[in-house]
Structure 1
Amino acid sequence: MRTDFPAITERRVAERPAVDADTFAREVVSGYRPVVLRGQVAHWRAVAAGQAGPRATAEYLAGFGGGTPLEVLIGPPDIGGRFFYADDSLTGFNFHRQQVSIGALVAELLRYAETAEPRPHALYANAATAPEHLPGWEAANPLALGIDAPARLWIGNASSIATHYDTSINIACVVAGRRRFTLFPPDQLPNLYVGPLDHTMAGPPSSMVDPDAPDLARHPRFADALAHAEVAELEPGDAIFIPPIWWHHVRAFDRLNVLVNYWWEHRSGAAFVALVHAIWAVRDLPDAEKAAWRGWFDHLVFAPDAGRAADHLPDAARGIMGAASPERTSRIRQFLTGMLGRS
Structure 2
Amino acid sequence: MRQLVGDWPAVEAGRQGDASIVRYLGEIGSARPVSAIAASPGEGGRFFYTPDLTGLNFVSGQGRLEMFLEDLLRAAEVSDPPAMAVQSEDIASLLPRFADENRLAILPQVAPKIWIGNRIRVAPHYDGKENVACCVAGRRRFTLFPPDQIGNLYPGPFELTPAGTPVSMVDLAEPDEEAHPRFAEAWRHAAQATLDPGDAIYIPYGWWHGVESLEPVSILVNYWWTQDVPDGLTSPYVGLLHALLTFKHLPPEQRDVWREMVNYYVFEQQGDPAAHLPDHAKGVLGPPSPALFAQMHEMIRQLMR
Output the TM-score relative to the length of structure 1: 0.84
| Structure 2: tracts of 5 or more residues without a match | none
Q: Which amino acid is 2:237 matched to?
A: F
Q: Does 1:85 align with 2:36?
A: no
Q: Which amino acid is 1:145 matched to?
A: I
User: Residues 277 and 211 from structure 1, CA distance in 2 versus in 1: closer, same or farther, beyond 3 angstroms?
Assistant: same
Q: Does 1:280 align with 2:241?
A: no
User: Residues 269 and 69 from structure 1, CA distance in 2 versus in 1: closer, same or farther, beyond 3 angstroms?
Assistant: farther
Q: Does 1:104 align with 2:73?
A: no
Which stretches of structure 1, 4 residues or longer, exceed 4 Å deviation after superposition?
266-269
Q: Which amino acid is 2:129 matched to?
A: S
Tell me the secondary structure at the aligned position of residue 205 of structure 1.
Answer: coil
Q: Does 1:131 align with 2:92?
A: yes
User: Residues 269 and 170 from structure 1, CA distance in 2 versus in 1: closer, same or farther, beyond 3 angstroms?
Assistant: farther
Q: Distance in 1 between matches of 2:234 and 2:283?
A: 22
Q: Distance in 2 between matches of 1:146 and 1:160?
A: 27
Deviations 1:254-293 (A, max 9, x none): 0000000111117597212111111111111112211111
Structural mapping, 1:194-343, within 5 Å: 194-265=155-226, 270-304=235-269, 306=271, 308-340=272-304, 342=305
Q: Which amino acid is 1:244 matched to?
A: Y
Q: Distance in 2 between matches of 1:62 and 1:142?
A: 19
In terms of mean alpha carbon deviation, does 57-66 or 220-229 score higher? 57-66
Deviations 1:10-49 (A, max 9, x none): xxxxxxxxxxxxxxxxxxxxxxxxxxx1111111100001
Q: Which amino acid is 1:57 matched to?
A: I
Output the TM-score relative to the length of structure 2: 0.95
1:4 matched residue in structure 2: none
Counterpart contact for 1:147–1:264, Cα < 8 Å: no
Counterpart contact for 1:184–1:248, Cα < 8 Å: yes
**Shift, 1:69, TM fit:** 1.1
Q: Distance in 1 between matches of 2:118 and 2:292?
A: 46
Q: Distance in 2 between matches of 1:329 and 1:83?
A: 37
Alignment match of 2:26 (pick from 59, 62, 69): 62
**Shift, 1:304, TM fit:** 4.3
Deviations 1:235-271 (A, max 9, x none): 1101111111100000000000000011111759721
Q: Does 1:74 align with 2:35?
A: no
User: Residues 280 and 96 from structure 1, CA distance in 2 versus in 1: closer, same or farther, beyond 3 angstroms?
Assistant: same
Q: Distance in 2 between matches of 1:199 and 1:281?
A: 21
Identity between Structure 1 and Structure 2 (%): 41
How many residue pairs get aligned? The number is 301
| Structure 1: tracts of 5 or more residues without a match | 1-36
Q: Distance in 1 between matches of 2:119 and 2:107?
A: 31
Tell me the secondary structure at the aligned position of residue 63 of structure 1.
Answer: helix
Q: Which amino acid is 1:109 matched to?
A: L
Q: Distance in 1 between matches of 2:107 and 2:244?
A: 38
User: Residues 324 and 163 from structure 1, CA distance in 2 versus in 1: closer, same or farther, beyond 3 angstroms?
Assistant: same
CA RMSD of superposed structures (Å): 1.5
Q: Distance in 1 between matches of 2:296 and 2:27?
A: 47
Q: Distance in 2 between matches of 1:337 and 1:46?
A: 49
In terms of mean alpha carbon deviation, does 243-252 or 295-304 score higher? 295-304
Q: Which amino acid is 1:43 matched to?
A: D
Counterpart contact for 1:319–1:331, Cα < 8 Å: no
User: Residues 159 and 138 from structure 1, CA distance in 2 versus in 1: closer, same or farther, beyond 3 angstroms?
Assistant: same
Deviations 1:120-162 (A, max 9, x none): 1111001111122222221110111134222111001000001
User: Residues 148 and 212 from structure 1, CA distance in 2 versus in 1: closer, same or farther, beyond 3 angstroms?
Assistant: same
Q: Distance in 2 between matches of 1:315 and 1:105?
A: 58
Tell me the secondary structure at the aligned position of residue 259 of structure 1.
Answer: strand
Q: Distance in 2 between matches of 1:67 and 1:174?
A: 23
Q: Distance in 1 between matches of 2:123 and 2:234?
A: 20
Counterpart contact for 2:132–2:223, Cα < 8 Å: yes
